[in-house]
Amino acid sequence: MIPASLDLTSLAAAYRAGLKPSTLIAHLREKVAADTHHAWISLLPAERLMEMAAALDTQNPASLPLYGVPFAIKDNIDLAGHPTTAGCPDYAYVPESSAFVVEKLIAAGAIPLGKTNLDQFATGLNGTRSPYGACQNAFDSDYISGGSSSGSAVSVASGQVSFSLGTDTAGSGRVPAAFNNLVGLKPSCGLLSTRGVVPACRSLDAVSIFALTASDAQAVFAAALGFDAQDAYSRPAQPHGRGFAAGDPFRFGVPRAEQLAFFGDTINLDLFAAAVTRLEALGGKRVEIDFTPLLETARLLYGGPWVAERYHVIKDFIERQPESVFPVTREITLGAKKFSATDTFDAFYKLQALKQICAEAWRNVDVMLTPTAGRHYTIAEVEAEPVKLNTDLGYYTNFMNLLDYAAVAVPAAMRADGLPFGVTLFAPAHQDLPLLQLAARWQADTALTLGATGQTLPAVGSLPQPVANGQVRVAVCGAHLSGLPLNWQLTQRDGRLIATTHSAPEYSFYALAGGPPLRPGMVKVAENGASIELEIWELPASEFGSFVAGIPAPLGIGKVKLADGSAVSGFVCESAGLTNAENITRFGGWRAWLASR
């Protein structure tokens, strides 16, 4: 039986119950062929699709991570033996091999149905700049789908595929997600190979993922992830750092009130305020940040020589056949010819200075929250003012790749007019998994339906974690506690406070002789033990060695049992160090003993 929802959890359950990939694909190809949104440019021939599906029919559904999962490919990403148009019929070519990420997804069991519509040469955030027709929003055909990955978003939101690939240079993987009630992952640049992708700005491009749920996006990301030695911009994933598990405190940045822009839409203003309140309810502490340097960075993307990267890709083609290029795209691309090498270096120098300024904000926050787009325009409005309104759409997105951030767009609310509103969570590069973790918690809390399907969020089990978090937790009980003299040894190593708690009732606590500084010692005892007040801190594993190296004898790091029965690395004391020490167990903690002196 065909599942009502194509999310990965529901689809996997249907396969376990006996559904065959060939049955599903035959059904979906008919559904896709009837699409009226201008979401698709081309479909794979039925024979080829059924051959791929039939090859899976005899396999165990548990044998592949994306067994029989249907997906769509933005038509600037290569699929072997199938035309790539980049939204321009006269530019089309037939690649001999698939893009690196497409190869990995097919190897994981996913089945590509075809190629989706886009703003030509991935130049635009609205979805109207295509000779294949303006892609219509999944909720209201009068409204834009968002772009440039327009068809990729609409195909998922309409329940035609489980996920899709897009690209994101300026917001193309996030704006369409917001306008179609989807999760849109813009990975850290270089983590998903761009080999086999028609570049927009090659130094900034990222392959993006559209999915019905954050958990689905994580599963696809895990399958597509991998260093590609043949892609000069590929880089290995690094330990991702801090997580956002339930109960973990975190700080999130939001732009100052006067820096928010909704371009006349008062409804979205209120919905964003509600989104801030919701993130606070998930454990976040709101911190206002100065959005000015991010906006200045955004202006570099189209107001500076990065446009020349777009011209560089199609220079020979556009000079030879300018009439083949969509008018607005032609105007933007040819405008890059005015930039000189001097202009380029000026822009690089300005960007570097802005990176330094923006880096300061991350000392105070763990993640930032913004609207994904301030206002959702109609197709008619964008066609009347194609450049200005497209610029508005990039207000919260254009800076992201220039500053090397990872981002996840998530649904936030449904408006009274039936259109979705979305927000974006973003953080420095390699924070993709923590962002998806927070996005999954967010999505569960909003209780919105999936895309435009009307289906509800399924219960999701554990998912693969393709990259270690690279963090170490340590329990401290003395001068390293918050506000005490040695706490700087944690904070200067980018440590953060996770929790205030107590040990299991198995310890004696001492004020050691000697000093200064005054030092405590925790010793595990067989009887008459007590619970000792602790703080749990988390710091990068790369910093843990230098922290431990600075601990003087008789103290050291061992395993400390907590009140909940779990164990964590923490300060312990050698029994030989208790000579002349004062037993202060009765105080229950270092702060209480200090206050008694």
Asked, as a colleague might, if the bond just before 63 is cis with ω within 30 of 0, I would say: no
Asked, as a colleague might, if the bond just before 517 is cis with ω within 30 of 0, I would say: yes
> Rounded to an integer, what distance in angstroms lies between the CA atom of residue 439 and that of residue 192?
20
For residue 447, which amino acid is it? A
> Rounded to an integer, what distance in angstroms lies between the CA atom of residue 106 and that of residue 49?
12
Active site residue 148: yes
The helix (run of H) or strand (run of E) holding residue 474 is strand 471-476
Query: What would the 3-class secondary structure string for 132-172 be?
Result: CCCCECCCCCCEECCCCCHHHHHHHHCCCCCEEEEECCCCC
DSSP reduced 3-state for 478: coil
End-to-end Cα separation, the chain, in angstroms: 73
Q: Which of 10, 22, 74, 98 is catalytic?
A: 74
Asked, as a colleague might, if the bond just before 554 is cis with ω within 30 of 0, I would say: yes
Q: DSSP for 363-376?
A: TT-SEEEEES-S--
Asked, as a colleague might, if the bond just before 293 is cis with ω within 30 of 0, I would say: no
Q: Which of 130, 172, 193, 531 is catalytic?
A: 172
| Exposure letters 357-396 (e unless 16+ CB within 10 A, then b) | ebeebbeebbbbbbbbbbbbbebebbbeebeebbbbbbbb
Compute how many other C-beta atoms are within 10 angstroms of the C-beta atom of residue 517. Answer: 11
The sign one gets for the Cα dihedral 45, 47, 53, 59 is negative
Active site residue 74: yes
Q: Which of 22, 148, 208, 508 is catalytic?
A: 148
Catalytic positions are: 74, 148, 172
